[in-house]
Chain A
Amino acid sequence: MFHISSQKKYWTFDNEESLEQLRCEANQKYRNKMLASGKPGVSDAVFLEAHEENVLFRHYEKRLLDFCNAFKPVMPKSVVGTAIMYFRRFYLNNSLMEYHPRTIMLICAYLSCKVDEFNVSSTQFVGNLVQESAAGQERALEQILEYELLLIQQLNFHLVVHTPYRPMEGLLIDIKTRYPLLENPESLRKSVDDFLTRVTLTDSGLLFPPSQIAMTAILNSASRAGLSMESYLTECMGLKEDKETLLKMYDAMRRIKSLMKKYELPKPDEVNAYKVKLERVHADFGTNSNMKRKRGYEDDDHVAKEPRMTEEEWTDEDLDDL
């Protein structure tokens, strides 16, 4: 349940400013690390700013969503929600420059399938990377398996994510049972789904409980359809007397709606510019080769594989047309 979950304890923050703060800190930490390491060609201009990282983050997040939607077999919505939440949480404490988003993106999806018990074998999973050859898929799989533990670690092993989908179902059932004023709640379902999909692309998951998000979705869709649902909160939820909680609820809903409005798809030219910078950072300072040996065979020289410095890693273009 959400009220005793790790999500409530550790991954629900008070306001957007604290989130921004964390992201800036992550960015700064990486910069300091690189500056301190004293590698050649290091200067402040080479690195991405926090807002530039934000643009790229949104871009890759959208791609993750598209990947999950095109996934075969059909991925349940909770799995998609969990994957996006992992992605978001990971980049709350880490910089995009340190770990390239296109790897992390796939790992989030892979881990979320496992955690949510949507059983897909690893070969089936990489089979969804339709642009790749079989060898390319192999390489992708290897990368996924390498970084998986890192992802779990950065999530602080808090793997259970409460998405708003089940609360939404619950609220619909409750409305149908206790609120006969609304005639056909099912008619709202499509717009509610739509709302929830858009909400996952915002920071709401890190700020509000999923039940509040679901409530916002339903009330919003109802008002869009011209149906009034004000009395639901006061009567059925027993908030007629409790003005304070009612105000808080309205406030939360307002904030969620404003977050949704603020969201916009990143502009392509911006994205490309920043992407170039990102690629350069990764090529120059990337720690890719170090990761490859972390399979536990570090000490046995005769067992370790040789570093794959020469082979090309699969690039963004391979994910196009998904």
Chain B
Amino acid sequence: MRWEWSEVREMDDQGCPRCKTTKYRNPSLKLMVNVCGHTLCESCVDMLFVRGSGNCVQCDTPLRKSNFRVQLFEDPAVDKEVEIRKKVLKIYNKRDFDFSNLREYNDYLERVEEIVYNLTNNLEVEGTKQIMEAYQRENRDIIQKNKAKLTREQEELEELLLLEQQGNEQRRLETLQEEQRQLQAKRKSKQALLDELERSHVPATILLAQHKDRAAQLETQIEKQKQVVKTTIFSTGIPMGQTVSLLTVNRLEEVLYHYQPIHMHTYGPPVPELEQLGRLGYLNHVRTAQPQDMAGGYNSGLACHRAIQDAFSGLFHPLG
């Protein structure tokens, strides 16, 4: 992970503590961090540790050149912590399923954090180192087992990534080839047209029409090819061709629904249907609808029907 943008922005802030100016003039110069947490630019490292080992400029701890790593974070302290954490976790590599309950796991993590904190801030370094050694001795086999597991997982992940990459590559090549083929086909047909125009005695318009037909055919062919994507796997993840056993579904027999028309009790004589009103002569006695009424969907039958319905509803209402 390269924090390039931060380098670009804070070029003035980050300076090599030794040669100070060189960082400004050479933005591509990288800072290196060591176990003590202090930074030095690349050229200074080369200069100071020409013999392989020396002392840190700021804190005078004996250092080796090989311990210098390229700085990833703005704050060198973070880099230092990251290094320490990596080392600690190589030893303390238990995982959540190694513990019987959550509480124990959390306690374990707490211990790990404390060790990392102490080492980073140079508190009780000796004591912490002793604790670490004791732990290592006690849990040697567990550490080994976990290490093995970890490597296996990493390998699997890498395999998947590799597969994906290969797939991408293949697809890219295929599309390139397709395009090449299409271009060639087009060029050929154009050339053929020109040749025919030269040679043959058929009038030019007919030749042009033929050429157009051929071009259209070519287009459809290309389209069809594009659509033929080999599907080897269903969207649910089941690969094609795999037989899936289905349990027989129980047949549910239900009674078929039978429509019963609604019967409304109007307590009165039957009302003629809306459609019949005109025929029966009712509409003669109702005010005819004006054109502006009809535009809204009104017709005189509606008012007539409603009046008749109201007149007949409840006429034979039973009395107490």
Interface residues of A (CB under 8 A from B): 1-4, 8, 12, 14-15, 162, 166-174, 176-177, 208-212, 214-215, 237-238, 245, 248-249, 251-252
> Is B306 touching A166 in the complex (CB atoms < 8 A)?
yes
Task: Give bound CA distance, A8 to B310, whole Å.
Answer: 13
| CB-contact partner of A169 in B269, B307, B316, B320, under 8 A | B307
**Beta-carbon contact of B282 and A173 below 8 Å:** yes
B128 contacts A by Cβ under 8 Å: no
What residues of chain A lie closer than 8 Å to B306, measured between beta carbons?
Answer: 166, 170
Task: Report the nearest B residue to A242, measured CB to CB.
Answer: B316
Does B168 belong to the interface (CB within 8 Å)? no
Q: Which B residues are in CB contact (< 8 Å) with A162?
A: 310
Q: What are 9 inter-chain pairs, A to B, with CB distance below 8 A?
A: A1-B266, A1-B309, A8-B317, A166-B311, A167-B307, A170-B306, A173-B304, A209-B314, A252-B319
| Interface pair B313/A209, CB less than 8 Å apart | yes
Q: What residue in chain A is nearest B303 (Cβ atoms)?
A: A169
CB-CB < 8 A to B315: which residues of A? Answer: 209, 211-212, 215, 237, 249
Q: Which residues of A sit under 8 angstroms from B312, Cβ to Cβ? A: 170, 211
Q: Is B203 an interface residue (CB 8 A)?
A: no
Q: A173-B308, A211-B268 known; 19 other A-B pairs, CB under 8 Å?
A: A1-B310, A3-B264, A3-B268, A3-B313, A3-B314, A8-B317, A14-B320, A167-B311, A167-B313, A173-B307, A173-B311, A177-B282, A209-B267, A209-B313, A210-B314, A211-B310, A215-B315, A248-B318, A252-B319
Whether B282 lies near A211 (C-beta < 8 A) is no
Assess A2 versus B314: contact at CB under 8 Å? Given A15-B320, A173-B285, A177-B282: yes
B310 contacts A166, CB within 8 Å? yes
Q: Are A170 and B320 in contact (CB under 8 A)?
A: no
Q: How far is the CA of A12 from the CA of B314 in the complex (A)?
A: 12
- Interface on B for A, CB 8 Å cutoff? 264-269, 280-282, 284-286, 304, 306-320
- Least CB distance from B114 to A in Å reads 58
| A contact patch SS | helix
B-side contacts of A211, CB under 8 Å: 268, 310-315
By a CB distance below 8 angstroms, the chain B residues around A12 are 317
Say whether B285 contacts A237, CB under 8 Å: no
Residue with the highest number of chain B CB atoms closer than 10 Å, among A166, A171, A177, A251:
A177
A210 to B313, CA, bound (A): 9
A2 partner residues in chain B, CB cutoff 8 A: 310, 313-314
Contact A209 B308 (CB under 8 A): no
Known contacts A1-B266, A177-B284, A248-B318; A166/B307 CB under 8 A: yes
* A174 engages B308 (CB within 8 Å): yes
Tell me the complex Cα distance, A210–B310, Å: 8
Most chain B CB atoms below 10 A, which of A169, A176, A211, A212: A211
Query: Measured between alpha carbons, how far is A173 from B272 in the docked complex, in Å?
Result: 13
Q: Which of B264, B281, B304, B316 is the one whose CB lies under 8 Å from A245?
A: B316
Q: A14-B319, A252-B319 are in contact. Are A170 and B311 (CB under 8 A)?
A: yes
The answer to whether A212 touches B310 (Cβ under 8 A) is no
Output the least CB separation between B195 and chain A (Å).
Answer: 85
Q: CA–CA, A172 to B316, complex, Å? A: 18
Please, how many angstroms separate the alpha-carbon atoms of A8 and B265 in the complex? 13
Partner pick for A208 among B308, B311, B317, CB 8 A cutoff? B317
> In the docked arrangement, what's the CA distance between A238 and B268, Å?
10
Shortest beta-carbon distance, B250 to chain A, in Å? Answer: 43
Which of B264, B268, B285, B313 is A177 in contact with, Cβ under 8 Å? B285
Min CB–CB distance A263 → chain B (angstroms): 20
Would A170 and B309 count as touching, CB distance under 8 A? yes
Report B-chain residues with C-beta under 8 Å of the C-beta of A172.
285
> Once the chains are docked, how many angstroms separate the CA of A39 from the CA of B313?
51
Q: Are B267 and A3 in contact (CB under 8 A)?
A: yes
What's the Cα separation between A211 and B266 when bound, in Å? 12
Inter-chain contact A251/B284, CB cutoff 8 Å: no
Q: Once bound together, how far apart are the Cα atoms of A8 and B266, in whole Å?
A: 11
With a CB–CB cut-off of 8 A, which chain A residues contact B269? 237-238
Complex CA distance for A210 and B280, rounded to whole angstroms: 25
**Known interface pairs A2-B314, A170-B307. Does A177 touch B319 (Cβ–Cβ under 8 Å)?**
no
Partner of B314, one of A166, A171, A173, A212: A212
| Shortest 5 CB-CB contacts between residues of A and residues of B | A170-B311, A14-B320, A209-B314, A170-B307, A176-B285
A contact residues around B309 at 8 Å (CB): 1, 170
Residues of A within 8 A of B316 (CB): 245, 248-249
Query: What is the bound-complex CA distance between A174 and B315, given in angstroms?
Result: 14
Known: A3-B264, A166-B306. A8 touches B285 (CB 8 A): no
Residues of B within 8 A of A177 (CB): 280-282, 284-285
